[in-house]
A and B are shown apart, each in its own frame.
Chain A
């Protein structure tokens, strides 16, 4: 991707200071794409204190509640991206093969414009994933795009389950090949994961024994050494953390399924899954899920064998499938990405919309909160002019917890929250660099070394 000039036309009105706030709003007379309960025409959606309170016809606006006239517009659940790296100051702690103790929730940056741009594409929730530079990367955070907050922690979707990033294939061998440490091959990746899981089992056993012994009156003894790393791995084994695994090839997908089976890990989501179409029945049988690109591949050898029918094949085989962005650009038009599955595979509207709403919600373990328009769910809504799966679909409003965080009419050129007082002002500004947050961010040096060694 080449650098993009962003022309900034005017100083924007800065929406600030309502972090974690909940709003109330009545959306009148729209075509409501509930995703799970069909499409309802001329229907109102009432959001009270951040939650969907009522979906139906002729709802009267409670006193003081803003009304959005959605006549002729399409109302859908806020789009969810199960694989993204926006809003992160750091993406990879790629120095060690096993770093489950690190946590992207520590590096959230609420001032990144990419959050606002995602909102402008109807996307209300994303999965701020650790990168793929190591076999067991960091714990990740499901975030709500509460643009305008100054509190990094208020981006966190309260109550969302813990998740963690694993990575297979070429990416996680970079540091090993550079430093002469493990892993340097696909075999090595499997080995370091199994080794880590075994250590975690031993760790749990030691602590269980200690905690049991402590119950005996008069017990005196040394506790086992504490390790945040092993404790986190043990939490994966005990099912407290959903495993999200960067993967491309069918063989490595099979490998991880086997490892998870051996260690009793059941909550697994494959990320990218480019060859998922080859092993869709196996993924479905294991109860695993898949998050894929619509049509993005061949950027390296291991993603050569791919198809735009991937999402459809996985869906038709009963795999809960989502389409993700892994990019601050694609995150702005995931509705287009979902629409591609209608061209390649002929998914129905609801099936295609599920790829960017209820299915990623399931993959993040938040399907009871978001992903469809139902009573009691969070007031995360995207309102489109024209159908979102149409090439003419354009987001008009995006709401998070019932608060309008994007309004196309009020969209101004300069949306920055924090301004650098030392910036040099040019007539046009280079993009701030957030377009380049990607899986292997911050690890380019690993590959430079590897390339240099080859020469």
Chain B
């Protein structure tokens, strides 16, 4: 069990001790059968069942429709007027991938001829060896509805093979849907060794690829009759290209900029492999070239920040040439931002089948970004297709994922309103039939008129299977808000609270604990009544422990 080494350290920390301990003896769910009833089922873009039922059993969708009998053992989710969609599929991300430690490697003796791995050439490497099931990035992805993702390794030029994984699971192996789903490449240079620039990178690509074609053909000749032939020397790097040469595997390139896409199209034309471009941000002017090249396309779900128009400035008419110039430049900037938001619509209009990638996006911005794309002309159906059916098709997983249909994997996302509605919240996510209930952060309905004297020191008590733990919370008024610290019995030193909010008598706060390389963010939600409060501390998914506090008398 991965967590075991941390346990002794945790003993000295404040609260989540008991919660982590649960990992060690997690019980199997009572049943793996669920019935989602009275729900608007968006089976696929343009295919909807109003107020139907979805039955999940043993990780699969068992039944979809109206008037379906609910199995006796099912856990029933009364999703009255909610919406259920196929779980979203992320075309490219590094969520769930352990970032390699910075190695302080010696500069090679001849930087013009570094060992392949220092040059960024390890195409044989496999991202499956770097999966971290506990990575917070996966929780984040799930929280906005993603249930599967193509993950790519860290590194630049040819760092290794990608894999499609589920956005959650107990072990790395259990999460993998498909290993070696693509070969990953970024057309960026190594650090001051050859190839250090795009120039060297493009040449390296051509040289390696042609060497691999030659090696593969000689391997075949040798295999056909070995007698009298020199033994081919095995080369992991070249062998990694064989499925690419056979067109059995695509190479997926991080291609944010239009010129990155240009470079990929050039390589594809020169060498003839099957390519995918991912995290594309500004390629709308070259859609015809992308389309005719037939590259798989994943658009970035990231968008440049919107600039709010400053009305006050508008009133003052631009009079000086400098002001006019500034206004003109700002206008072009606004147009550029709008063009980014409209990229997906332009691809839709051109009839390109595209998915999305979250590689460089802030997860929490994703729903808003999708709404901006829709406002800029992308249809809701096309947006949903880009989140579900298209990536399933591009990844060759349509038989298992992408729609809410009988027999598919139980990867689902359930929202309280249509996903693209501004007020929609993700309520449940099913990954491989496992239910994740999302915390809905409705503002605590405390008494808005209650008077709370928060400032000062509070003694806290938490209960967990490991026993009682005592601590202190202190709050201080800072302008219109509060700052605070948590300290306590076994916490080695006080930790700052972040995001302290007091709404009426509903208090929320967060803090982060780190142990080793891992960090855990703990969220407190309590209701204050006079000199005491009650509530919960939570971290991760559905892991909570009660907390109570009483105010210390003033000195």
Name the distance in Å between A25's Cβ and chain B's nearest Cβ: 26
Interface residues of A in 88-132 (CB under 8 A from B): 89-90, 92-99, 101-104, 106-107, 109, 111, 130
A residues in contact with B199, CB < 8 Å: 90, 92-93, 99, 102-104, 106-107, 130, 138
A94 to B282, CA, bound (A): 30
Residue of B nearest to A11 (CB): B328
Q: Which residues of A contact B336 (CB under 8 A)?
A: 418-421
User: Which of these, B112, B207, B304, B323, contacts A181 with CB under 8 Å?
Assistant: B112
Task: Mark out the residues of chain B between 195 and 224 whose CB falls within 8 Å of any chain A CB in the assembled complex.
Answer: 195-200, 202-203, 206-207, 210-211, 214, 218, 221
Q: What is the 8 Å Cβ interface bit string for chain A, positions 17-55, against chain B (1 contact, 0 not)?
A: 100000000000000000000000000000000000000
B residues less than 8 Å from A96 (CB atoms): 111-113, 194
B443 at the interface (CB under 8 A from A): no
Chain B's closest residue to A100 (CB) is B203
* 16 A-B pairs whose Cβ atoms sit less than 8 Å apart in the complex: A10-B328, A92-B197, A93-B197, A95-B111, A96-B113, A97-B112, A101-B206, A104-B199, A107-B202, A151-B262, A151-B289, A179-B107, A181-B112, A220-B228, A225-B211, A414-B332
CB distance from B203 to the nearest CB of A (A): 4
Complex alpha-carbon distance, A151 and B289, angstroms? 9
Q: Which residues of B contact A93 (CB under 8 A)?
A: 194-197, 199-200, 203
Nearest residue, chain A, Cβ from B331: A11
- Please state if B207 and A228 are interface contacts (CB–CB under 8 Å): yes
A99 touches B192 (CB 8 A): no
Is residue B236 contacting chain A, with contact meaning CB distance below 8 A? no
Segment 410-455 of A: residues with Cβ below 8 Å from B: 413-414, 416, 418-423, 425-429, 442, 445
* A226-B210, A226-B211 known; A153-B228 Cβ under 8 A: no
Residue of B nearest to A99 (CB): B200
| CB proximity of A454 to chain B, nearest CB, Å | 20
**Given the interface contacts A223-B218, A423-B333, does A150 sit within 8 Å of B285 by beta carbon?**
yes
Instruction: Assess the A442–B197 pair: CB atoms within 8 A.
Output: yes
Closest residue of chain B to A223 (Cβ to Cβ) is B214
Are the C-beta atoms of B192 and A102 separated by less than 8 Å?
Answer: no
A223 partner residues in chain B, CB cutoff 8 A: 214, 218
Residue of A nearest to B113 (CB): A96
| Shortest distance from the beta carbon of B198 to any chain A beta carbon, whole Å | 5
* Chain A contacts for B207, CB-based, 8 A: 101, 226-229
Residues of A209-239 whose CB lies within 8 A of B: 220-223, 225-229
Query: Once the chains bind, are A220 and B197 in contact (CB under 8 Å)?
Result: no
- Tell me whether B3 is interfacial, beta carbon within 8 Å: no
Is residue B335 within 8 Å, beta carbon to beta carbon, of the partner chain? Answer: yes
- B232: chain A residues within 8 A (beta carbon): 222
Question: For chains A and B in complex, what number of residue pairs have CB atoms within 8 angstroms?
Answer: 162
Q: Is B263 an interface residue (CB 8 A)?
A: yes
A391 on the B face (CB < 8 A):
no
- Indicate if B68 sits at the interface (CB-CB under 8 A): no
Known: A153-B266, A175-B112, A225-B211. A418 touches B282 (CB 8 A): yes
Q: Is B229 an interface residue (CB 8 A)?
A: yes
Check B174 for interface membership: any CB of A closer than 8 A.
no
Residue of A whose beta carbon sits closest to that of B224? A220
For the complex, what is the distance from the CA of A386 to the CA of B192, rounded to whole Å?
49
How many residues on the A side are at the interface (Cβ–Cβ under 8 A)?
60
Chain B 158-179, CB-CB to A under 8 Å as 1, else 0, gives 0000000000000000000000
Question: Which A residues lie within 8 Å of B117 (CB)?
Answer: none
Pairwise interchain contact B258-A418, C-beta atoms closer than 8 A: yes
Chain A residues, CB < 8 A from B321: 7, 9
11 further A-B contacts with Cβ under 8 Å, apart from A95-B193, A104-B199, A425-B330, are: A95-B112, A97-B112, A102-B200, A175-B112, A179-B111, A181-B112, A222-B229, A222-B230, A225-B211, A228-B206, A421-B340
Given contacts A93-B195, A150-B285, contact A103 B202 (CB under 8 A): yes
Q: Give Cα distance in the complex from A153 to B330, angstroms.
A: 31
Q: Which one of A101, A150, A181 lies within 8 Å of B110 (CB-CB)?
A: A181
Q: Which residues of B contact A151 (CB under 8 A)?
A: 262, 286, 289
A109 touching B200, Cβ below 8 Å: no
Is B7 among interface residues, defined by CB-CB distance under 8 A? no
Knowing A99-B200, A175-B112, A442-B197, the reply to whether A8 touches B206 (Cβ < 8 A) is no
Q: How far is the CB of B213 from chain A (nearest CB, A)?
A: 8
| Residues on B with beta carbons closer than 8 Å to the beta carbon of A107 | 197-199, 202
Would you call B258 and A428 a contact (CB within 8 A)?
A: no
- Would you call A60 an interface residue if the criterion is a C-beta within 8 Å of the partner chain's C-beta atoms? no
Are B332 and A416 touching (Cβ within 8 A)? yes
A228 neighbours in B (Cβ, 8 Å): 203, 206-207, 210
B333 to A95, Cβ gap below 8 A? no
Q: Does A67 contact B (CB under 8 A)?
A: no
In the complex, the answer to whether A152 meets B328 with C-beta atoms within 8 Å is no
Interface residues of A in 57-107 (CB under 8 A from B): 89-90, 92-99, 101-104, 106-107
* Cβ-based interface call for B368 (8 A): no
With contacts A95-B195, A130-B199, A229-B207 taken as known, whether A419 is within 8 angstroms of B332 at the C-beta atoms is yes
Contacts of B328 in A (CB 8 A): 8-11, 413-414
What's the minimum C-beta distance from B281 to chain A, rounded to whole angstroms? 9
Nearest chain A CB to B511 CB, angstrom units: 32
Q: Kindly report which residue of chain B lies nearest to residue A220, judged by CB atoms.
A: B229
Contact A109 B203 (CB under 8 A): no
A16 within 8 A of B: yes
Q: A220-B228, A419-B332 are in contact. Are A109 and B259 (CB under 8 A)?
A: yes
Give the distance in Å from the alpha carbon of A111 to the alpha carbon of B194 in the complex.
27
Taken together as a complex, chains A and B put the C-alpha atoms of A138 and B204 apart, in Å, by 13
Measured CB to CB, the closest approach of chain B to A195, in angstroms, equals 13
Contact with A89, one of B113, B259, B305, B337 (Cβ below 8 angstroms): B259
Cβ of B225: which chain A residues have Cβ within 8 Å of it?
A: 220
Tell me if B324 counts as interface (CB < 8 A to partner A). Answer: yes
Given contacts A181-B112, A428-B322, contact A106 B266 (CB under 8 A): yes
Q: How far is the CA of A447 from the CA of B203 in the complex (A)?
A: 25
A425 contact set on B, CB distance < 8 A: 326, 329-330, 333
Q: Given A8-B328, A11-B328, does the pair A222, B206 have CB atoms closer than 8 Å?
A: no
Indicate if B381 sits at the interface (CB-CB under 8 A). Answer: no
Q: Is B325 close to A, CB under 8 A?
A: yes
